[in-house]
Amino acid sequence: MAKSPSRSRGKPSRRGRPATGKAVPPAERMRQMRARRRAAGLKVAVSWVPADSPATQEPAGVYSSHRLQDARSLAMHVMIARKVDRDPRLLDVARRNLARWRRKTPAQQRPRWMQTWSELLRRPWPEIAARITAISEEGAQLRQSTPFAGVLTPAERRRIHDAFRA
């Protein structure tokens, strides 16, 4: 068996892409990402202060960007629940999305959340609404793999995204 040229000289072979000499250090990548976010009108949120709290008080809690995403997802699902309450036919959007995803995914490769959603969408609407808007670990997990894509209009989604810009 022939050895690779780099191993024959006693050097270990390098895995991955060949070095180009143009690598950006992680700290610089982070600065660039923050600059892009600032240019998009976003501000870094490191803490959350309730509206009725004076600015001189200690922040009520520290929020990460992940928590902001969770809060935005919850707001979207509350709006979805209100829309489906007004027009129950919108529940069919979620059922069609899930059916399409199931057709595209072989049975042995389907993630667990597909089965969870399949079972949940057979339940009565008040139970579904309560679970997708629950402030719990289960609610957050359901919202991460939601089949309700397409229920909100782009304008409604934009309004929620804008509301969660710090």
pLDDT tens, position by position, 56-110: 444 455 556 777 788 889 989 999 999 999 999 999 999 999 999 999 888 888 8
Q: Is the pTM of this model over 0.85?
A: no
Domain boundary among 36, 63, 90: 63
In DSSP terms, which residues pair with 61 in a beta bridge? 48
Are 70 and 151 found together in one domain? yes
Domain that holds residue 91: 65-163
Within a domain: 19: no
What is the number of structural domains in the chain? 2
69 and 46 together in one domain? no
Half-sphere exposure in the Cβ direction for 89 (13 Å, CA) = 1
- Tell me if 47 is assigned to some domain: yes
- For residue 51, give the amino acid letter: A
Both 75 and 99 in a single domain? yes
Q: What is the pLDDT of residues 22-70, one digit of tens each?
A: 787 888 888 887 888 777 776 665 555 555 555 444 445 555 677 778 8
Instruction: Mark whether 49 and 80 lie in a shared domain.
Output: no
